[in-house]
């Protein structure tokens, strides 16, 4: 791996920490209503919204009410999107005269964006009108990210409070995250992206006569405004089919670097918020450390295997050295990013539940492609989705503390709160539900004709090969983990088979989102009620190296035990075949 | 319940206006005012004629027919049948896919047929992620210099100087690869030493496979 690879990754992590600390402190103030400077500017709007909506900001919700309102909001906004997609042909801002989005695809897409997955069974440029992109889809880029942060903050509140029946006001949290965090940041971010070459226009396609005399048509549209929240909200649904590999979405190495930082910005900042709100900055640092450790391992493995290239390319006569060119496995990668910026991007986007791609994961080397898949199967806790990564890792913290308690034979206790059987039941559900969804739907996909027909990479005469298995496993890992990236050779929607993947992936995305949020909120409610016992010498420390090791061990163990057999059939055996 | 529904509908409506009307409108206004060229696609306009976008690569249906231009990276992008817009895509070939081997071998052979004897950089024979990659590595450009020099009747040193003008270094020394923009380079070639296009007799064995997108 080149010197550039190491410098890039070191600078990336240094900047991530530098951003996370002040940003996390700011988030703490926002959710406590103590962000005085920004309230002076926008407080009138916040209060106006509560008045129009008839919301009393001082009245807090129990965990069940919080969960109910979250579900209501998600349902209403999903319906809005579904209707807009079905009727886009009758609505304005449709310069290429696209037809309505077909029913199953509309269901799948609406679910996908509502759950912060942004799995795309379609190519943007040939399916979505400008209005669908800017309203039906971009709205959820904001809303689903906002909901995620709300849930994370509610869970932290539940852990931090004692003897409280409530965990916050859902509407207040939701309005604040949009007004003070997402919208202001995106305004500046989107304009920066335009400066790099990301387009932002309502004009129709551009056309020209290419050098070889053929006429080319390139779709345009309001891309930068969608791109900014796509990254910052860990959504990942691209305007174009090629996503952040398309030069109009990600034109320069600098735009690429900032996009990577923005994916992890809020998840990393929430670690700082966690430390602040629980009055234990060491705990916030430890959680950050565990996430960063898993991220670094992924980057190194992915970078190593992609930079080595594949025997197939070498045997076909391509030079994989690095004299005057990036070398390595360049199939499905953009030259301006090379191996280093592609490997880092792939780890960042799948560690978080973003799912934007700047290289085609389907063409990665077997073990290079294993990294994104395993990141998703760990439950998106390598920084994770906006909010989702934080509530996910906190469930694993509870499991880790519980396991540590079992090992030493004491009642497990987490920062002064005793962990009881109800907490552990919900935490276990949280860990098990995604495993069932991924493995059972993958099996279903392989056992049915409709499932197998979507596979692109097959052996001679269509014989099944490990890579085809990986495509299906990747799809359900991505859907369940609400990531949205793909081994994109898989055809998840075709007029011949409109239902199978639309329905199963739709269910996987739903199961990977709402039951888990309810489990997290249930833990929040249960924890908030409890008395706090003073932290004593017998309490398990939730900071420092020992705890980081235990947390990483818990996350990896649950993931590895569950998914090792599946990974063995897919990428591992493919790696062995490659070097046969 | 009614109260909650009212709150939900009102907040949804207000957030929709803020995030999906106000926000894109402000960004568009700012973008068009401050960065009009970038906001509309970084179009390259010569004498009032749009020649392409400096961000998007252009491919030749059959490279062998166009020896006077530098060839960019192979592409899996293709025009959509219904709307004609170019559909961006990678090949999505897995690392062991036999089709990948066949295609790379064919491209290597096509280059060898033009007289390339040294190593052939991997980026010149693999498809990019978007199918619209405008760049090549310096090494991938250099192996094409003898062919282009011959077709245009130019000195190789002249071409090297031109390539250097169109080569960008990694941003701040560590972001992204050293790269040359193939389209702007080709347009500069045409400006400096125009040649009438005469396609050599087709040699079907050296023709590259047509772009073969795997639609996701």
Per-residue pLDDT tens over the stretch B56-115? 999 998 899 999 999 999 999 999 988 889 999 999 999 999 999 999 999 999 999 999
The nearest alpha carbon in chain A to B81 belongs to: A126
Degrees (nearest 5) of the Cα angle A329, A335, A339?
45
Burial of residue A531, with CB atoms counted within 10 A of its CB: 0-12 exposed, 13-18 middle, 19 or more buried? exposed
Separation CA B13–CA A573 (nearest Å)? 51
The ipTM estimated for the assembled molecules is 0.94
Residues 334-393 of A with CB under 8 A from B: 334-338, 341, 357-360, 362-366
For chain A, what is the mean pLDDT? 95
Under 8 Å between Cβ of A253 and A281? no
Please provide residue B136's backbone torsions phi and psi, each rounded to the nearest 5 degrees: -135, 155
Contact A253 B9 (CB under 8 A): no
Mean pLDDT of A108-116: 96
pLDDT for B212 equals 43
Structure-token pair, residue A295: 């991220």
Cβ of residue A323 closer than 8 Å to a chain B Cβ = yes
Under 8 Å between Cβ of A363 and B92? yes
- Residue of A139, A203, A229 with shortest CB distance to B40: A203
Contact A363 B12 (CB under 8 A): no
Closest-CA residue to B124 (of B88, B74, B77): B74
Q: Answer yes or no: is pLDDT of A449 > 80.
A: yes
Task: Give residue B214's pLDDT band: very low, low, confident or very high (50, 70, 90).
Answer: very low
The nearest alpha carbon in chain B to A120 belongs to: B216
Q: Where are the domains of chain B?
A: 1-40, 41-192
CA distance B70 to chain A (A): 11
Separation CA A348–CA A327 (nearest Å)? 22
Taken in order A8, A9, A14, A15, the sign of the CA dihedral is positive
Please state, for a pLDDT cut of 90, what percent of chain B lies above it.
85
Interface test with B, best of A4, A14, A204, A242 (most B CBs within 10 A): A242
Separation CA A118–CA A478 (nearest Å)? 10
Contact A73 B8 (CB under 8 A): yes
Q: Answer yes or no: is pLDDT of B201 > 80.
A: no
Please provide residue A523's backbone torsions phi and psi, each rounded to the nearest 5 degrees: -65, -40
Catalogue the long-range contacts made by A319-323 (C-beta closer than 8 Å, 24 or more residues apart).
Answer: A319/B119, A319/B120, A319/B121, A319/B122, A320/B122, A321/B119, A322/A2, A323/B119, A323/B139
Distant-in-sequence, close-in-space partners of A174: CB < 8 Å, separation ≥ 6 = A73, A146, A147, A150, B11, B15
SS3 content of chain B, % helix, strand, coil (to 5): 45, 10, 45
Task: Give residue B197's pLDDT band: very low, low, confident or very high (50, 70, 90).
Answer: confident
Separation CA A541–CA A548 (nearest Å)? 10
Contact B129 A317 (CB under 8 A): no
Tell me the H-state helices in A448-497. Answer: 449-452, 466-480
Interface test with A, best of B174, B182, B211, B213 (most A CBs within 10 A): B174
Which DSSP string do the residues of A179-202 spell out, in sequence order?
Answer: IIIIHHHHHHHHHHHHHHT--B--
Separation CA B108–CA B116 (nearest Å)? 9
Taken in order A549, A25, B172, A234, the sign of the CA dihedral is positive
Interface test with A, best of B88, B137, B166, B171 (most A CBs within 10 A): B88
CA distances from A172 to A168, B125, B183 (A): 8, 54, 51
Contact A211 B186 (CB under 8 A): yes
CA distance A52 to chain B (A): 7
- Three-state secondary structure readout of A360-423: CHHHCCHHHHHHHHHHHHCCCCCCCCCCHHHHHHHHHHHHHHHHHHHHHCCCCEECCEECCHHH
Separation CA A33–CA A57 (nearest Å)? 10
Structure-token pair, residue A186: 């995106």
Task: Name every chain B residue with its beta carbon within 8 A of the beta carbon of A356.
Answer: none
Distant-in-sequence, close-in-space partners of A333: CB < 8 Å, separation ≥ 6 = A306, A339, A342, A359, A360, A363, B126, B128, B129
Separation CA A365–CA A467 (nearest Å)? 10
- Which has the higher per-residue pLDDT, A412 or A65? A65
Closest-CA residue to A310 (of A360, A362, A372, A365): A365
pLDDT for B205 equals 45
Q: Answer yes or no: is pLDDT of A359 > 70.
A: yes
The nearest alpha carbon in chain A to B24 belongs to: A225
Separation CA A381–CA A263 (nearest Å)? 13
Mean pLDDT of A302-318: 95
Q: Answer yes or no: is pLDDT of B206 > 50.
A: no
Taken in order A327, A332, A338, A339, the sign of the CA dihedral is negative
pLDDT for A408 equals 85
CA distance A402 to chain B (A): 37
Q: Answer yes or no: is pLDDT of B1 > 50.
A: yes
Please state, for a pLDDT cut of 90, what percent of chain A lies above it.
92
- Specify the 3-state DSSP secondary structure of B50: strand
Separation CA A114–CA A106 (nearest Å)? 12
pLDDT for A534 equals 84
Span B111-136, pLDDT tens digits: 999 999 999 999 999 999 999 999 99
Count CB neighbours of B146 within 10 A: 15
Task: Name every chain A residue with its beta carbon within 8 A of the beta carbon of B177.
Answer: 253, 325-326, 335-338
Task: Give residue B203's pLDDT band: very low, low, confident or very high (50, 70, 90).
Answer: low
pLDDT for A247 equals 97
Cβ of residue A461 closer than 8 Å to a chain B Cβ = no
Distant-in-sequence, close-in-space partners of A563: CB < 8 Å, separation ≥ 6 = A374, A377, A435, A438, A439
Task: Give residue A117's pLDDT band: very low, low, confident or very high (50, 70, 90).
Answer: very high
Interface test with A, best of B84, B122, B134, B142 (most A CBs within 10 A): B122
The nearest alpha carbon in chain B to A178 belongs to: B15
The residue ranges of DSSP E strands in chain B, in sequence order, are 43-46, 49-53, 78-79, 86-87, 135-136, 167-168, 179-181
Residues 113-152 of A with CB under 8 A from B: 120-121, 123, 125-126, 134-135, 138-139, 142-143
- Residue of A196, A241, A578 with shortest CB distance to B87: A241
- Which has the higher per-residue pLDDT, B204 or B56? B56
pLDDT for B27 equals 97
Please state, for a pLDDT cut of 70, what percent of chain A lies above it.
100
Under 8 Å between Cβ of B87 and A124? no
Task: Name every chain B residue with its beta carbon within 8 A of the beta carbon of A47.
Answer: none
Task: Give residue B202's pLDDT band: very low, low, confident or very high (50, 70, 90).
Answer: low
pLDDT for A189 equals 97
Length in residues, chain A: 580
Distant-in-sequence, close-in-space partners of A250: CB < 8 Å, separation ≥ 6 = A198, A227, A244, A256, A259, A358
pLDDT for B210 equals 43
Residues 175-234 of A with CB under 8 A from B: 175, 178-179, 182-183, 186-187, 190-191, 194-203, 205-212, 214-220, 222, 224-226, 228-229
Distant-in-sequence, close-in-space partners of B159: CB < 8 Å, separation ≥ 6 = B145, B148, B149
Under 8 Å between Cβ of A480 and A512? yes
**DSSP state at residue B146:** H
Contact A332 B51 (CB under 8 A): no
Task: Name every chain B residue with its beta carbon within 8 A of the beta carbon of A247.
Answer: 53, 55-56, 130, 132-134
Separation CA A407–CA B171 (nearest Å)? 51
pLDDT for A65 equals 97
pLDDT for B211 equals 43
**Matching residue, tokens 């552990």:** A424
Mean pLDDT of A218-226: 95
Separation CA A252–CA B133 (nearest Å)? 11
Task: Name every chain B residue with its beta carbon within 8 A of the beta carbon of A55.
Answer: 7, 11
Bridge partner residues of B167 (DSSP):
B180
CA distance A368 to chain B (A): 10
Task: Give residue B216's pLDDT band: very low, low, confident or very high (50, 70, 90).
Answer: very low
Count CB neighbours of A40 within 10 A: 9
Distant-in-sequence, close-in-space partners of A462: CB < 8 Å, separation ≥ 6 = none
Crossing angle for the helix pair A138-160 and A514-529, nearest 10 degrees?
Answer: 30
Task: Name every chain B residue with its beta carbon within 8 A of the beta carbon of A206.
Answer: 40-41, 43, 50, 53
Pairing of strands B86-87, B43-46: unpaired
């Amino acid at each position: 791996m080149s010197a550039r690879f190491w410098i890039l990754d070191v600078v990336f992590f240094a900047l991530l920490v530098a951003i996370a600390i002040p940003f996390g402190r700011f988030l703490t103030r926002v959710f406590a209503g103590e962000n005085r400077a920004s309230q002076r500017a926008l407080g009138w709007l916040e209060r106006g919204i509560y008045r129009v909506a008839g919301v009393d900001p001082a009245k807090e919700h129990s965990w069940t009410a919080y969960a109910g309102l979250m579900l209501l909001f998600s349902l209403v906004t999903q319906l809005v999107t579904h209707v807009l997609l079905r009727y886009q042909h009758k609505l304005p801002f449709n310069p290429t005269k696209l037809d309505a989005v077909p029913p199953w695809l509309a269901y799948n897409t609406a679910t996908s964006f509502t759950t912060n997955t942004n799995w795309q069974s379609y190519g943007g440029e040939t399916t979505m009108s400008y209005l669908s992109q800017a309203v039906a889809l971009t709205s959820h880029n904001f809303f689903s990210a906002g909901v995620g942060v709300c849930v994370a903050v509610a869970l932290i509140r539940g852990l931090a409070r004692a003897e409280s029946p409530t965990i916050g006001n859902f509407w207040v949290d939701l309005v604040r995250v949009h007004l003070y965090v997402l919208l202001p940041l995106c305004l500046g971010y989107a304009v920066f992206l335009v400066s790099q070459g990301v387009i932002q226009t309502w004009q129709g396609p551009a056309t020209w006569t290419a050098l070889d005399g053929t006429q080319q048509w390139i779709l345009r549209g309001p891309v930068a405004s969608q791109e900014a929240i796509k990254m910052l909200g860990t959504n990942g649904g691209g305007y174009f089919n090629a996503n952040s590999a398309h030069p109009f979405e990600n034109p320069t190495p600098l735009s690429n670097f900032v996009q990577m930082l923005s994916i992890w910005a809020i998840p990393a900042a929430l670690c700082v918020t966690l430390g602040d709100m629980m009055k234990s900055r060491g705990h916030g640092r430890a959680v950050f450390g565990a996430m960063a450790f898993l991220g670094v391992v992924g980057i190194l493995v992915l970078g190593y295997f992609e930079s080595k290239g594949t025997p197939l390319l070498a045997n076909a006569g391509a030079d994989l050295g690095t004299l005057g060119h990036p070398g390595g496995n360049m199939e499905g990668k953009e030259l301006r990013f090379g191996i280093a910026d592609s490997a880092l991007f792939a780890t960042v986007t799948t560690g978080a539940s973003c799912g934007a791609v700047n290289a085609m994961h389907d063409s990665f080397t077997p073990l290079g492609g294993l990294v994104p898949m395993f990141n998703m199967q760990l439950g998106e806790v390598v920084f994770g989705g906006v909010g989702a990564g934080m509530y996910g890792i906190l469930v694993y913290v509870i499991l880790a503390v519980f396991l540590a308690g079992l090992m030493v034979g004491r009642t497990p206790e987490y920062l002064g709160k005793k962990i009881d059987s109800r907490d552990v039941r919900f935490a276990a559900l949280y860990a098990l539900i995604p495993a069932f969804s991924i493995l059972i739907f993958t099996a279903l996909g392989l056992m049915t004709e409709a499932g197998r027909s979507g596979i692109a990479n097959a052996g001679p005469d269509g014989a099944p090969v490990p890579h085809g298995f990986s495509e299906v496993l990747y799809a359900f890992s991505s859907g369940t983990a609400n990531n949205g990236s793909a081994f994109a050779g898989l055809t998840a929607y075709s007029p011949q088979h409109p239902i199978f993947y639309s329905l199963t992936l739709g269910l996987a995305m739903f199961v990977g989102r709402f039951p888990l949020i309810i489990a997290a909120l249930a833990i929040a409610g249960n924890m908030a009620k409890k008395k706090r016992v003073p932290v004593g010498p017998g309490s398990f420390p939730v900071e420092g190296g020992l705890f980081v090791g235990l947390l990483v061990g818990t996350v990896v163990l649950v993931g590895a035990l569950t998914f090792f057999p599946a990974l063995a059939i897919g990428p591992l055996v493919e790696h062995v075949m490659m070097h046969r | 319940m009614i109260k909650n529904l009212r709150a939900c509908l009102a907040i949804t409506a207000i957030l929709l206006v803020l995030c999906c009307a106000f926000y894109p409108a402000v960004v568009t206004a700012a973008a068009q005012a401050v960065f009009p060229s970038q906001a509309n696609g970084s179009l390259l306009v010569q004498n009032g004629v749009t020649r392409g976008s400096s961000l998007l690569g252009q491919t030749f249906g059959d490279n062998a027919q166009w020896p006077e231009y530098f060839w960019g990276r192979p592409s899996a992008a293709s025009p959509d049948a219904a709307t004609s817009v170019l559909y961006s895509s990678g090949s999505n070939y897995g690392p062991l896919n036999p089709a990948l081997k066949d295609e790379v071998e064919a491209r290597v052979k096509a280059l060898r047929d033009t007289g390339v004897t040294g190593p052939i950089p991997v980026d010149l024979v693999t498809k990019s992620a978007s199918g619209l990659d405008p760049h090549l590595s310096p090494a991938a450009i250099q192996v094409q210099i003898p062919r282009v020099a011959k077709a245009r009747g130019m000195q190789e040193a002249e071409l090297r100087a031109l390539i250097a003008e169109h080569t960008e270094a990694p941003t701040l020394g560590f972001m992204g690869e050293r790269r040359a923009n193939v389209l702007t380079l080709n347009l500069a070639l045409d400006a400096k030493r125009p040649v009438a296009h005469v396609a050599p007799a087709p040699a079907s064995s050296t023709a590259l496979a047509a772009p073969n997108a795997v639609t996701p």
